[in-house]
Structure 1
Amino acid sequence: MTSEVAAGLRAWRTRRRVSQLELAVRAGTTQRHVSFIESGRSVPGREMVIRLAESLQVPLRERNQLLMAAGHAPAYDETPYDAPSLDAIRAALTGILDGHRPSPAVVVDRRGDVVLANHSFDALTAGVAPYLLEAPVSVPRLFLHPDGLAPRIVNLAEWSWHVVDGLTREAALVPDLAADELIAELVALLPPRPEPGPDHLGFAVPLRLRTASEELRLITTLTRFGTAIDVTVSELRMEAFLPADEPTARALRGLDRTMLQRVEV
């Protein structure tokens, strides 16, 4: 147990590129104490594990793992998303998604699988292969798979690598085998990474997506809970696809009306 928590804290500190001294200052302890914990010479108490983990911005799921490795009970609940105790959270998320219409928006879990989506997102993804819409629906796979939205993405080379680079950065911060497997799967599907030209500003460019009648230019936003104390809630994030210009805003309003009419029928 002692070796597990020692190795775990040392790995998180290294991953965050924080020195023992800096971590000690953040957590309100001494460098000597941090050194003793990381070498296995001292077993941290529950409060100290939480303080160190918070100072290193360790996600709640992994904080529980550190606590158990140190011989303590988990501190953070992991409530099923459909549990009655999360009724208020689900209602709030539904309201936020509806408030984004006609912009497509979706709530995903830590692996990018859809938890909740608005009608505008359904309209955006209409026509993709049905098997890609079977739960769990992976948003990265939905966009980058050749049976998904990839054939409709005008700037696929730039935007797809922007997505994969983001997933890679996330996986480096919070290691996860399933995330690594998804990244490997997506990389195998992508076109060659484009060579940056003289006017290159990075691959974080608007998503250019063809519809039956026009091209949409969309920018993405990510929103997370900042004060969640439940593992499930802390891992949720909302992705919204906002219009980058007025023609796109107008087109999204039309797509949303069409999808709403289908739902009402």
Structure 2
Amino acid sequence: MIVTTTLTAGRAGRPVGELLREWRDRRRISQLDLAISADISTRHLSFVETGRSKPSREMVLRLGEHLEVPLRERNQLLLAAGYAPAYAETGLAAPELEAVRKAVRQLMAGHEPYPAAVVDRWWNLVDANASISLMTDLVSPALMTPPVNVLRVTLHPDGMAPHVLNLGEWRAHLLGRLRRQVIQTADPMLTELLEELLTYPCADPVPEVEVPGPGDIFVPLKLRHEDAELTFFSTVSTFGTPLDVTVAELVIESFFPADADTAEYLRAYAARGVE
């Protein structure tokens, strides 16, 4: 079943040509470059953007692909052009996504005793393995009321923030990721989230640009847990060939120990949970 969200309905009233031009401007691609990559004439593209020509369904999908428009927004383009959405938005609990759920849980279970979490497009927590409790037990219960937003949990003064030893650096990293996502998706909910996070206090210096220091190879998360100082790096995984909006927007973030002491602490912490 295809679900039309409030965001989709809100944009469907705008002409498809206006939306396409907005995405082209957002991607900083000229009409000529887009026309060449999509194998259409510049004149035809100009007519589509100005509303003088109605694009076919295939043309909308082709332009959306070459503009790297997310699947959710490609459905909006189709609706604006008078066509039905092409990409389903299936609930994660639906039988059709059983293989996806199994794959995600297998990845997270295999990552134990290291923390891993799954988030949706808006950074809401979808699932996590048992080791994520090492981070969430530092957080006020009020922030753990569903839907749990992991960026809010991380940067809120009642969340993980007081326990993050390099808060300025980690905050800059997370906000940079969110800004890039706002640019990529033009999602107003993500814009609101960014504006909210920017109001949170941060006593540490916040770098404007992520500039590596001598020997740095990634931005670490340095976390105080009980009497230990832990250091992590993370990897981000997505599905490679999604054709469903829900699947396309799932992100698995896996945290790894950056040193032997952190690895040993995580093994001991997991053992405590089993006892």
- Normalising by the smaller structure, the TM-score range is over 0.9
Q: What are the within-5 Å matches in structure 2 for residues 232-251 of structure 1? A: 232-251=246-265
Q: Could you tell me which residue of structure 1 aligns to residue 21 of structure 2?
A: 10
Q: Secondary structure at the match of 1:189?
A: coil
Structure 1 unaligned regions, length at least 5: none
* Count of residues paired in the alignment: 260
Whole-Å Cα distance in 2 between the matches of residues 167 and 64 of structure 1? 22
Q: Deviations over 1:169-215 (max 9, x none)?
A: 21111112211121111111132672769x95279620100011311
- Asked if the contact 2:108–2:128 (Cα under 8 Å) also holds between the matched residues in 1, the reply is yes
Q: Does 1:225 align with 2:239?
A: yes
- TM-score, reference length from structure 2: 0.89
Shift of 1:103: 1.5
Q: What are the within-5 Å matches in structure 2 for residues 204-223 of structure 1? A: 205-223=219-237
Worse-matched range after superposition: 111-120 or 152-161: 152-161
Would the alpha carbon gap of residues 161 and 195 (structure 1) be closer, same or farther in structure 2, given more than 3 Å must change?
Answer: closer
CA RMSD of aligned residues (A): 2.1
Q: Deviations over 1:12-69 (max 9, x none)?
A: 1111111111111221211111111111111100001000000011001100010011
Structure 1 segments of 4+ aligned residues over 3 angstroms from their partners: none
Shift of 1:126: 1.2
- TM-score, reference length from structure 1: 0.92
Q: Could you tell me which residue of structure 2 aligns to residue 48 of structure 1?
A: 59
Q: 2:31 aligns with which of 14, 20, 24?
A: 20
Shift of 1:123: 2.6
Worse-matched range after superposition: 221-230 or 187-196: 187-196
Q: Secondary structure at the match of 2:240?
A: coil
Q: Deviations over 1:202-248 (max 9, x none)?
A: 79620100011311101121111121000111011111111111111
Whole-Å Cα distance in 2 between the matches of residues 167 and 196 of structure 1? 15
Shift of 1:257: 2.2
Q: Secondary structure at the match of 2:254?
A: strand
- Asked if the contact 1:225–1:233 (Cα under 8 Å) also holds between the matched residues in 2, the reply is yes
Q: Secondary structure at the match of 2:237?
A: strand
Identity over aligned pairs, percent: 48
- Asked if the contact 1:220–1:240 (Cα under 8 Å) also holds between the matched residues in 2, the reply is yes
Whole-Å Cα distance in 1 between the matches of residues 84 and 144 of structure 2? 38
